[in-house]
Amino acid sequence: MSFTLRQKIFLGYIVMISFTLLVGFYAIFSLKELTTITQNAVFNSIATSGRLTKLNDNILAQDLYEKRFLMLKQRDAENLFWMRSKEFGEMLTELGKTETYISPLIASVLSQHDRYDAHFTREAQLIKENKVREAEEVSAGDMKTVFEKILLGLKDVDHQIKSQQNIFISESNSLSERALLITIILSATSFAFGLLFASLLTNHLNAAIEQLKEATNMIRSGDFDSMPEIKGADELADLAISFREMSSRLKELEEINLDANPLTKLPGNLAIEKELLVRLNETQRFSFCLIDLDNFKAYNDRYSYARGSDLIKWLSELLVNIKKEYGEPEDFLGHIGGDDFVLICSPDRIQTLCSRIIEEFDRGIPAHYDPEDAKKGFIISIDRNDKPAMFGIMTISLAVVNTDRTLVRDPKEISQKVAELKQYAKSFAKSIYIMDRRRAR
């Protein structure tokens, strides 16, 4: 007796459903328990670990603002300390409500935190009374002791949470093994009927793979906008989404690559602005250094643009080598264009890097002049009024803005501040770096 494809699929479903009902209640019960445990592990314990990380960050931030207030007597630091203190107490109280098994530990940490706040109140009062030495003793003594106890308490909470997670994982593994056994039984019983559906699945897979293959060819040819649209909620649809995300990222990388300076291959304006935005959004403390040559135009007019390009390439190699030797991998070096470069690094390294740049530049620049000009110490070239004038051996000016001293909110503010410093640096007839000494208020 012959059956149509629809009838075969219907018959296959009837048999599979009948068999599945025999074990369905047990499977549903097991999966329900597994789901409950998974939810506890994922949505509670793991989320709790995340909140604990925020608590550690919060108390460390309090310690930072306490030290800043002690040293700088800034009202903002005191306000930020109390803001962080309030957040810490609220988060810790909420954590105790959601995770009752760690309530005793939470209560202990809250008690220590109240003591910590009380010591800070005392320290702040001493500072306002100009009793700096007594305030320093409170900071280094009582506050430090309580702060360490809070950290140990949070560590105990973390240990308890991880222990609870291990219990959840153990229960989840046990239930997973039983679910796996049921899955094997169902798979073995339904194997014959699975062959019936193989052709349908194969067609679906083949169509999806063809679309993804087409998408790969589009990416290879540089077309990042025509990505496949595979409807549904299965893994292939997720893969299509990943392809679109990858395409978007490749497009972004291509734009950055096209933005790179063709002479030095260093990142250009788009990459520089993106780097600044990332660091500002993450509230990182960093130094922004603008590097500019003095009398470069006169050099170009005297020796030609070809030699000027060679000098720019030499300068870029010098900067790369200095960054590699004295900087860190996370430091950023970019080329705005012409003789303007940008260096972004941690404030604790900027003075060393600037000093090395000036030293290496002043040592190497005479070799780029003709011997007779280098010996004289100047060249004759055309000034901005198209008249002959004397120009000394090229120097280098560095203008630095430190975000730990100067309040900046966007890249434009940094550009304005560093431009002012650069003009001041160029007023000196020598290689120099100028750093913004003003503190943010």
pLDDT of res. 239:
67
**pLDDT 10s per residue in the chain (441 long)?**
555 545 556 666 676 677 666 666 666 766 676 676 666 655 666 677 778 888 888 888 888 888 888 888 888 888 888 998 888 888 888 887 877 777 888 888 888 888 988 988 888 888 888 888 888 888 888 888 988 888 898 888 888 878 877 777 777 777 777 777 777 876 777 666 666 665 665 666 666 676 666 666 666 655 556 656 666 555 666 666 776 777 666 666 655 555 678 889 899 888 899 899 888 888 788 999 999 999 999 999 999 999 999 999 999 999 999 999 999 999 999 999 999 999 999 999 999 999 999 999 999 999 999 999 999 999 998 887 888 899 999 999 999 999 877 777 788 888 899 999 999 999 998 999 999 875 433
> What 3-state DSSP class applies to 433?
strand
Q: What residues does 399 pair with on adjacent strands?
A: 290, 434
Q: Which of 149, 129, 138 lies closest to 67 in space, CA to CA? A: 138
CA 370 remoteness from chain centre: 47
Best CA proximity match to 48, nearest among 158, 149, 150, 153: 158
Q: Name, in order, each residue with C-beta under 8 angstroms of 302's C-beta and a sequence gap of 6 or more.
A: 373, 379, 380, 381, 391
395-402 and 432-435 strand pairing: parallel
pLDDT at 135: 85
Domains with residue ranges and CATH for the chain: 5-188 (1.20.120), 196-259 (1.10.8), 269-435 (3.30.70.270)
At 270-315, the pLDDT tens digits run: 889 989 988 888 878 899 999 999 999 999 999 999 999 999 999 9
pLDDT at position 441 is 32
Q: Cα dihedral angle (327, 332, 335, 336), rounded to 10 degrees? A: -130
pTM above 0.85, yes or no: no
CA distance 417 to 437: 12
**74-81: long-range contacts at Cβ-Cβ below 8 A with a sequence spacing of 24 or more?**
78/124, 81/120
pLDDT, one tens digit per residue, over 97-127 is 877 777 888 888 888 888 988 988 888 888 8
Q: Which residue, 253, 420, 396, 266, is CA-closest to 344?
A: 266
What span, in angstroms and rounded, lies between the C-alpha atoms of 366 and 357?
15
CA atoms within 13 A on the CB side of 409: 0
